[in-house]
Amino acid sequence: MTVTAFAPETEERFALARQVADAVLFEGYVLYPYRASAAKNRLRWQFGVLVPPAWGAECEEHDFQHTECLLEPKAGATLSVELRFLHARRRTVQQARSDGGYDTVPELHLDDRVLVPWDEGAEERVEVVATVDELLGDGVTFPFERPAREDTEPVLDAAGRTVGRLVRRCEEISGAVRLSADELDGPYRALRLTAIVENTTDWTPPEGRSADRDAALPHSLVAAHLLMALSAGSFLSMTDPPEWAKGATAACRNLHTWPVLAGEPGRADLVLSSPIILEDHPAIAPESPGALYDATEIDEILALRTAALTDEEKREARGTDDRAAAVIDLADSMPPEVLERLHGAVRSLREVTGAAAAPAAADGFPDEYGVPRPDTPWWDPASDAGFDPAQDRVVVDGRSLGAGSRVLLRPGLRRTDAQDLFLQGRSATVEAVLHDVDGGVHLAVTVEGDPGADIRREQGRFLYFQPDEVTPLEDA
């Protein structure tokens, strides 16, 4: 095994993949309204947190990630691995005294910002390069350490006078990256790659504080994820493998992470193993003007809400974190034409006229699922009168399905995401039969055994599948 800088070609591929990996690394880093005092910013670091083993044994969080995926390496291939994570850096605020000393304070007011205590995230990387042959058998293990450190930064007022300082401290952490591979039986030379990331930090909670997550975070690997690249050969998709590899793919174990093909579309020599489930070849929307760190919201809404914050709220946000300050500046300076692009985008078009077009929607004949087509165009509000989601039926495998029918879920790989794999083979109840503006039919379902099913019904929040993604049950 060698630990060295990546080859230029590998570094170029990683640089492209890091555009998405950065979104994983900083997802939820600071949430709207981007102030440390906001309730949603008091419980930090929700994704990919690998805690110290002594603390993980007492809570529901984990001290490791386990990735398995398949690859077809060529002779002499090497595997380049980059572990990326955030190291929590605890920041305290101190005010200068007239005698030259400093006092720790809860906040320090400046003209343009209000500085407050905060946990910053320092990006860390661990790079490993090994030949594929080295991975066979017991594989290789690369331990790493990051020492405790402390630094200070003076705080100056508008006149350039020192009015305080920021003290940042990182705690010592240690971990290990374990890589191994084994040959698969079959007609093609393929390997199952196992990549394990462990937090091995020798830290125990102070007596009486065994359940204090805040104390464990500085000793944790936060938002941990892997980038893995082959110098020659390819990885296999976990969601759309070739037929011969489907059994081996299904047997892969992925714990607390999920591997997807990354990098340029059409290539399969790079994998991102992320604590957030993604689809193959994820990409940042070209309309995105910059990182907003809150992917549970819509960029347009975030930008508008951020621009509408009061001046005092913006001062606190700017003092919370440099990344929060950048979001405030971005929202304040966003040109109208950039904001307009956030309103929506068409990603693909399909032909609806010409020789191959479907029969006119007003022909009155049933579609392929036995549902009569409407006799008015979809853009006519009166067309809604012909639909009743609670009463409509759809024919699947010769059976009529509607609200109350029971089905088995068989998600279609080419129009679904990795999360639907967890629903494969689960039984569900049809709640409604819905029609979209293109004439498509969708089944709204709740999964049987879901403890939140009643809440979903009450809120009208269902899972949606097309008729060819379900199989009627006998008692349907």
Over residues 262-283, the mean pLDDT reads 92
Question: Is 446 in contact with 453 (CB distance < 8 Å)?
Answer: yes
Give CA–CA dist 219/148, Å, rounded: 10
pLDDT of residue 221: 96
Give CA–CA dist 262/272, Å, rounded: 6
Over residues 255-270, the mean pLDDT reads 93
Q: Using 50, 70 and 90 to split pLDDT, how confident is the model at 388?
A: confident
Over residues 355-379, the mean pLDDT reads 47
> Could you tell me how far CA 100 lies from the centroid of its own chain?
47
Residue 378 has pLDDT above 50, yes or no: no
Residue 49 has pLDDT above 60, yes or no: yes
pLDDT of residue 210: 55
Give CA–CA dist 375/361, Å, rounded: 7
Distances (CA, A) of 300 to 34, 206, 334: 16, 44, 11
Residues contacting 474, CB < 8 A, separation 6+:
none
Share of the chain above pLDDT 90, in %: 55
Residue 167 has pLDDT above 70, yes or no: yes
pLDDT of residue 412: 74
Sign of the Cα pseudo-torsion (145, 218, 66, 60, in order): positive
- Among 72-76, 283-287, 435-439, the range with the most confident prediction by mean pLDDT is 72-76
pLDDT of residue 208: 57
Give the DSSP H/E element, type plus range, for residue 233: strand 233-235
Per-residue pLDDT of 418-469, as tens digits, reads: 677 778 889 999 999 998 877 788 999 999 988 888 887 887 888 999 898 9
Residue 390 has pLDDT above 60, yes or no: yes
Phi-psi region at 414: left, alpha or beta (left = phi > 0; alpha = psi -120 to 50): alpha
- Among 154-158, 193-197, 425-429, the range with the most confident prediction by mean pLDDT is 193-197
Share of the chain above pLDDT 70, in %: 87
Give the DSSP H/E element, type plus range, for residue 340: helix 336-341
pLDDT of residue 391: 83
Per-residue pLDDT of 294-330, as tens digits, reads: 876 778 888 888 888 999 999 999 999 999 999 999 9
